[in-house]
Amino acid sequence: MNQDIASETKQKMTKVLDVLKTDLSTVRTGRATPSLVENLVVSVYGGSTRMKIMELATIAAQDPQTLLITPFDNSIIGEIQKGIMEANVGFTPSIDSQHIRISIPPLSEERRQQLIHLMKQKLENGRIMIRQVRHEAMTEIKKQYNDKTISEDELMRLEKETQRITDETVAEIDGLGKKKEEELIQI
């Protein structure tokens, strides 16, 4: 049962990391990547259905500055274009026969700094979630010790293990931040 706390803590922290990675992928760099638009939700088929763009079309980076969106159903191309504009993410999509093209404008220095600041906020939120998971695990370990279901040696071992998992996860978050900041700084 006691190993369950460590593995459960590891699982929860991995989920936090996955959420953080997804969140960071939405912070745009100067480079065109499908993750910039794939999770945007648009209304299609006369507004009767709301779906993510990745469910409606293939998304490819034609070059470092251009995204190419090819809808599976060409009849909704205008609705996808309108949805991208309404999402207010700073893109101006244009229709080109069976495709939607989005040119990614280069980032200004001021915008880069804003995005780095936003990224750092997202990283800090990730660290806060990790500390919350650690706190819950430590509380459960102390509760088991107080209920006499684990020994003092086991208490110490589990606390050390929980701290080790926490330190590794926070180091991984820091690594993600460094990598993303390098992407944002590159012109």
Express as a percent the part of the chain with pLDDT over 70.
96
Phi, psi angles (nearest 5°) of residue 106: -65, 150
Q: What is the pLDDT of residue 3?
A: 67
Same-domain status, 97 and 112: no
Express as a percent the part of the chain with pLDDT over 90.
42
C-alpha distances out from residue 166 to 85, 160, 169, Å:
41, 10, 5
Looking at 79, 103, 127, the residue that finishes a domain is: 103
- pTM, two decimals, is 0.65
Q: What is the pLDDT of residue 1?
A: 47
Question: What is the tally of helices (H) and strands (E) in the chain?
Answer: 5, 6
Same-domain status, 181 and 130: yes
**If you average pLDDT over residues 34-60, what whole number do you get?**
86
The burial of 172, by beta-carbon neighbours within 10 Å (0-12 exposed, 13-18 middle, 19 or more buried), is given as middle
Tell me which residue of 102, 29, 106, 91 sits closest to 60, measured CA to CA. Answer: 102
Residue 162 has pLDDT above 50, yes or no: yes
Looking at 53, 78, 103, the residue that finishes a domain is: 103
**Residue 160, domain CATH:** 1.10.132.20
**If you average pLDDT over residues 156-171, what whole number do you get?**
95
CA angle 82, 69, 122 (to 5 degrees): 80
The highest-confidence range among 26-40, 105-119, 150-164, by mean pLDDT, is 150-164
Residues 50-105 pLDDT 10s: 888 889 999 998 888 888 999 998 888 888 888 888 877 778 888 888 899 988 87
Q: What is the pLDDT of residue 42?
A: 87
Give the confidence band of 13 by pLDDT, cuts at 50, 70, 90. very high
Same-domain status, 21 and 112: yes
Same-domain status, 85 and 138: no
Q: Average pLDDT of the chain?
A: 87
Q: What is the pLDDT of residue 167?
A: 96
Q: What is the pLDDT of residue 154?
A: 92
Residues 175-186 pLDDT 10s: 999 988 888 777
The residue segments making up the domain with residue 93 are 34-103
Same-domain status, 65 and 8: no
Rounded Cα gap, residues 163 and 184, in angstroms: 31
